[in-house]
Amino acid sequence: MKSKIGVYICHCGGNISDYVDVNKVRESVKEIQGVEISIDTMFACADSSQKQIAEDIANKKLDALVVASCSPKLHYPTFSAVAERGGLNKYNYVHANIREQVSWAHSDNKEGATEKAIKVVKSAIARVKESVPLEPIEVKAQKSIAVLGAGVAGMRAAKELADLGIQVYLIEREHFVGGRISQLDFLCGADITGKELVTQLYEKIHKHPNVTLFTGAEVIEKGGSIGNFKVKVKITPRYIKDECNPEQLQKAIDVCPVEVEDDFNFNITKRKAIYRNYDSEYPHFPTIDSKNCTRCGECEKVCSSIDFTQKEEIIDLTVGSILAATGFDPYQPKENEFGWGIENVVTLPQFRRIINMCDNKLIYKGKEIKDIAYIYCVGSRQVEGDNKYCSRYCCTATLYTSILTHKKYKGIHSFHFNRGIRTYGKQEVIYDEASRLGDIFLQSYEYDPPVVTKVNGKTNVKIEDLLTGGKEIEVNADLVVLVTGMEPRNDCSIGDVLKIPKGRDRFYNEIHMKLRPVETVIDGVTIAGACQGPKNIMESMNSALSAAAKSYSIVNKGELALEPIIAKVDKDTCVWCGKCAEACPFDAITKVNANGKEIAEINASVCKGCGMCLPVCESDSIDMDGFTNTEIESMINVLAEN
């Protein structure tokens, strides 16, 4: 039982003391038996206060510490580190949340808030009295990292980590690398194309001794924990031999009788069942799309590189950290949404493929295009739908596309039906350039989007235009381009495998939006690129390199100290009913034989201390280090006092 407890109560500069009478809280706990000192402070987290607390622990020989402040999510680590610096075991520190759970929640009732704060602090004192010192669990960390997704973000992170001497497994679901960027021919603010960027990156990782690339591969299971994740990777066959003959392969593509929509070109062209998306694509040889291949065997007749005997493979990898860079999907418009379904209504990604295919004249479905209407925010900033977010890249990308059409073709007229152009930062100059080229901007009211209809063979866009004080304006367009936003990947099974939480916008959620944008609540798993939220290439690269830095810091020492807050089994009372093993979401519990008796055993490096096993144990044989029954009961006793 602790008997020299230091209690510090934070004003949080007013965040707490504006609603909670901090002096009263301090006074009402100072006489409690075992409390050596109770002090209030303006900002407990400030460097000077931290120093003071550490000094008090050392000088006054405190044996336990309570800090009543903000959410433990924010500052539990801060003050447990202070406890350690003062010479305490950090598990003799208890955090009391009197901000999120008290002052902010009860800003309308100062007296009630103060009462509640007193109870919260008293219960923390009761708990800290019962606290026991614990030592971290030391584990070896694998000096290897799995990077999921070989888009530009994944490849960039892989290269950086490999250069730092880490073994990287780069795992790509498609049979080709490059992700979405290889579909972009021109990149805003750069003198290289998307394909060239992909090529540059591929060349850097391809021959790198520290990178192993798997294509057609997907992580289907994750076990273990930070430092030692065990992942199962399913590799689907390419049906092409490693040593292949490129000339024969071209013949094979030519003879394949199956034609399907080419999703690389967003269905505006067709491809064969044996295909590559573009000539310079990596890896250099095609693949056979097993969904559409009829196994007619025509290709095999002309090409010796085809091998239908290849089988699906499952391999096991052990890695210290996982970096997910699985990207986004372009929004797919619904039937009739802004005229989707009319033959000359296309999406921005499709339009960019069309521009890529037309050299001197812009031609679509046999007709020359002169007047182009762009409709912004399709699938983003939805008034009715679920996508409330802005897709960030698209205003700039559209204006850049428009500028390009002016440069490439003659006589183009662009009409931008927007909702307030968001060319933030330096991208403003692109807006400026498009305006100077004579592009026309029309803006819809928030709840009154433009309407696209087909009348007398003409595709017509009608808008009530905010910029002219609400005038109704109509434009007949040769082509309507829907500026589709970014959506989270439709198939986000990898997020479920890794258990990464998603936000309201369905993108993967970081641990702290402001200060820890690439880390997740799953220790050891980082996220990069557009799977965390819409980003342009540069922003994706920054996040890829940041995620690489965080993942690297996990594995680079080769060892890790894990939280000792884990469940323990009482060998004497356990009768192995197996209920705990069923309840454990991390498969940490197994049946073992101890002295002729079957009991449950908990794997310390896998247990996360989630507590799911505790309530299901009928013989009450499980206790949680750091949150023992004694500690929790002592808190309840105080809270229940009148």
Partner 1 sequence: MQDNNKVKEYDALVIGAGIAGGEAALNLANVGNRVLLIDKDLTVGGKMIMLSKVFPTLDCSACITTPKVSEIARHSLITTLTSTEASDIVQKDNGTFEALITTQPRYVHIEDCTGCQLCEEACPVNVEDEYQYGLVGRKAAFIPFSIASPRAAAIDIENCTLCGACERACPTNCIDFTQTVEKFMIECKTVIVATGFQLFDPTLIPRYGYGRFKNVITSMQMERQLAPTRPFNTVLRPSDGKIPDNIAYVLCTGSRDKTVGTPICSQVCCMYSTKQAQLLMGALPMADITLYFLHIRAFGKGFNEFYAQAQSMGVEYVKGKVAKITEKEDGNLILRYEDISTGKVTETEHDMVVLSVGILPNQGITGLFKNRKLELDQFNYISQSNPLESPATTSIKGVFVAGVASAPMDIPDSILSAGAASSEAANYIRQLSVKQVEV
268 binds, among partner 1, ligand SF4, none (CB under 5 to 8 A by kind): none
Of 15, 215, 414, 444, the residue at the interface with partner 1 (CB under 8 A) is: 15
**Count of residues in contact with partner 1, rule CB under 8 A:** 80
| CA–CA gap between residue 264 and residue 271 (Å, rounded) | 9
Is there binding between residue 485 and ligand SF4 (CB under 6 A)? Answer: yes
Helix (H/G/I), strand (E/B), else coil: 603: coil
Is there binding between residue 511 and ligand SF4 (CB under 6 A)? Answer: no
Which residues 6+ apart lie within 8 Å of 232 measured at CB? 219, 220, 221, 222, 314, 315, 316
Query: The tokens of 229 are what?
Result: 């994740």
483 binds, among partner 1, ligand SF4, none (CB under 5 to 8 A by kind): ligand SF4
Is there binding between residue 525 and ligand SF4 (CB under 6 A)? Answer: no
Angle at the Cα of 172 from the Cα atoms of 169 and 177, rounded to 5 degrees:
110
Residues 236 and 214 sit within 8 Å (Cβ to Cβ): no
Helix (H/G/I), strand (E/B), else coil: 345: strand
Min CB(447)–ligand SF4 separation in Å: 15
| CA–CA gap between residue 433 and residue 484 (Å, rounded) | 22
Is there binding between residue 615 and partner 1 (CB under 8 A)? Answer: no
The DSSP H or E segment spanning 127 is helix 110-129
In the range 404-443, which residues lie near ligand SF4 by CB under 6 A? 419, 422
Nearer to ligand SF4, 275 or 376 (CB): 376
Nearer to partner 1, 201 or 362 (CB): 201
Which residues 6+ apart lie within 8 Å of 381 measured at CB? 387, 388, 389, 390, 419
In the range 425-454, which residues lie near partner 1 by CB under 8 A? 425-429, 432
| CA–CA gap between residue 367 and residue 391 (Å, rounded) | 31
Min CB(205)–partner 1 separation in Å: 12
Which of these ranges, 14-22, 77-85, 193-201, 392-400, lies near ligand SF4 under the rule CB under 6 A? Answer: 392-400
Which of these ranges, 294-302, 390-398, 436-444, 508-516, lies near ligand SF4 under the rule CB under 6 A? Answer: 390-398
Is there binding between residue 377 and ligand SF4 (CB under 6 A)? Answer: yes
| CA–CA gap between residue 349 and residue 336 (Å, rounded) | 18
Give the number of other CB atoms < 10 A from CB of residue 352: 21
273 binds, among partner 1, ligand SF4, none (CB under 5 to 8 A by kind): none
Is there binding between residue 39 and partner 1 (CB under 8 A)? Answer: no
Helix (H/G/I), strand (E/B), else coil: 560: strand
Is there binding between residue 245 and partner 1 (CB under 8 A)? Answer: no
Is there binding between residue 195 and partner 1 (CB under 8 A)? Answer: no
542 binds, among partner 1, ligand SF4, none (CB under 5 to 8 A by kind): partner 1
DSSP of 416-456, one letter per residue? EEESS----GGGHHHHHHHHHTT-EEEE-BTTB--EEEEET
Which of these ranges, 416-424, 558-566, 601-609, 634-642, lies near partner 1 under the rule CB under 8 A? Answer: 416-424
Min CB(438)–ligand SF4 separation in Å: 21
Is there binding between residue 487 and partner 1 (CB under 8 A)? Answer: no
Is there binding between residue 42 and partner 1 (CB under 8 A)? Answer: yes
Of 271, 392, 535, 608, the residue at the interface with ligand SF4 (CB under 6 A) is: 392
In the range 112-151, which residues lie near partner 1 by CB under 8 A? none
Which of these ranges, 207-215, 235-243, 311-319, 536-544, lies near partner 1 under the rule CB under 8 A? Answer: 536-544
3-state secondary structure 252-307: HHHHCCCEEECHHHCCCCEEECEECCCCCCCCCCCEECCCCCCCCCHHHHHCCCEC
Nearest to residue 146, comparing CAs of 312, 314, 324, 315?
A: 324
Which of these ranges, 10-18, 322-330, 363-371, 377-385, lies near ligand SF4 under the rule CB under 6 A? Answer: 377-385
41 binds, among ligand SF4, partner 1, none (CB under 5 to 8 A by kind): none
Is there binding between residue 483 and ligand SF4 (CB under 6 A)? Answer: yes
Is there binding between residue 222 and ligand SF4 (CB under 6 A)? Answer: no
Please report where in the chains the tokens 């490999």 appear, as a residue.
162
In the range 545-604, which residues lie near partner 1 by CB under 8 A? 545-550, 552-553, 556
Is there binding between residue 197 and partner 1 (CB under 8 A)? Answer: yes
DSSP of 372-388, one letter per residue? EEEEEEETSS-SSSS--
From its phi and psi, is residue 338 left (phi > 0), alpha (psi between -120 and 50) or beta?
left
Of 423, 460, 476, 603, the residue at the interface with partner 1 (CB under 8 A) is: 423
Which of these ranges, 38-46, 129-137, 257-265, 334-342, lies near partner 1 under the rule CB under 8 A? Answer: 38-46
Give the number of other CB atoms < 10 A from CB of residue 377: 26
189 binds, among ligand SF4, partner 1, none (CB under 5 to 8 A by kind): partner 1
What one-letter code names the amino acid at 272? K
Is there binding between residue 395 and ligand SF4 (CB under 6 A)? Answer: yes
Is there binding between residue 394 and ligand SF4 (CB under 6 A)? Answer: yes
586 binds, among ligand SF4, partner 1, none (CB under 5 to 8 A by kind): none
Of 21, 36, 163, 625, the residue at the interface with partner 1 (CB under 8 A) is: 163
Min CB(451)–ligand SF4 separation in Å: 18
Is there binding between residue 317 and ligand SF4 (CB under 6 A)? Answer: no
Of 28, 144, 183, 380, the residue at the interface with ligand SF4 (CB under 6 A) is: 380
Nearest to residue 506, comparing CAs of 337, 328, 377?
A: 328
C-alpha distances (whole Å) from 553 to each of 153, 523, 628 are 19, 12, 32
Give the number of other CB atoms < 10 A from CB of residue 173: 22
In the range 454-483, which residues lie near partner 1 by CB under 8 A? 466-470
Is there binding between residue 334 and partner 1 (CB under 8 A)? Answer: no
Query: The tokens of 126 are what?
Result: 């009761």
Site string for partner 1, 374-413 (x = CB under 8 A): -------x------xxx-x---------------------
- Within 13 Å of residue 28, how many CA atoms lie on the same side as its CB? 15
Query: The tokens of 447 are what?
Result: 């709840």
Please report where in the chains the tokens 């209809």 appear, as a residue.
453
Min CB(466)–partner 1 separation in Å: 6
Bridge partners of residue 234, in order along the sequence: 218, 314
Strands (E), 466-539: 471-477, 479-484, 486-488, 525-527
Of 92, 103, 391, 401, the residue at the interface with ligand SF4 (CB under 6 A) is: 391
Contacts with ligand SF4 by CB under 6 A lie at 376-377, 380-381, 390-392, 394-395, 419, 422, 483, 485
